[in-house]
Amino acid sequence: MSLIPIVYYSHHPALHKVAEPVTEFNEALAKLVQDMYETMYHADGCGLAAPQIGIAKRIAVIDISEEKDKPFCIINPEIIERSGEKMMSAGCLSVPGTYTTAPRSTYVKVRAQDETGKFFEIEGHDLLAHCLQHEIDHLYGKLNIDYLSSLKKNISLKKMEKFLKRTKGK
Ligand code: NI
């Protein structure tokens, strides 16, 4: 397995466009998913989408378990049911140093494929629902801070740039 560098808001075009569906379920994809798990754990995140490592493909990995031992991947995911609404706060590995709120459903049901191409459904409430929506948004080129007004967004981006400067080389 290997770590893949994470890209930051406005630093890479893949982050801001609609990702392409995955059509080939092969060894290269399985390896990419493993690398995404490793990259997510290394960055101490609970989710990572392929656009965040500069790959505009519809792949995301998630692990919200406390022991960080229950990872799963969603490929070509679609939200097929949702309910409830709540403003939820989140950080994003592509906008480090900031937390922002966005309107989220408190329940979602997602249909996706695993790394072998098999279809499955997953239901999530609260944190898992939130995480699923956040990662699926990434596959549409949408980040948490895109829900903010442009004024608040600029403040967040300035915080991020400061954070990156401070942590550069660490
Ligand atoms: Ni994110």
Half-sphere exposure of 108 (CA within 13 A, CB side): 22
Spacing, Cα 62 to ligand 1 middle (Å): 11
Q: Kindly list the structural domains of the chain, giving each domain's residue range(s) and its CATH number in brackets, ordered by start.
A: 13-164 (3.90.45.10)
Which uninterrupted H or E stretch holds 101?
strand 100-104
Spacing, Cα 93 to ligand 1 middle (Å): 5
* Predicted pLDDT at 112: 98
Spacing, Cα 46 to ligand 1 middle (Å): 9
Active site residues: 135
For the segment 62-72, the average pLDDT, to the nearest whole number, is 95
Percent above pLDDT 70 for the chain: 99
Buried b (16+ CB within 10 A) or exposed e, 2-34: eebebbbbeebebbeeebeebeeeeeebeebbb
Spacing, Cα 8 to ligand 1 middle (Å): 10
Half-sphere exposure of 35 (CA within 13 A, CB side): 17
User: In the predicted model, is pLDDT for residue 170 greater than 60?
Assistant: no
* Predicted pLDDT at 169: 52
Residue 131 phi, psi (nearest 5): -65, -45
DSSP structure class, residue 7: P
| Distance (Å, whole) CA 136 – CA 95 | 16
Residues in the chain: 170
Spacing, Cα 136 to ligand 1 middle (Å): 9
pLDDT tens per residue, range 138-167: 999 999 999 999 999 999 999 999 999 998
What is the model's pTM?
A: 0.96
Structural tokens at position 65? 């378990």
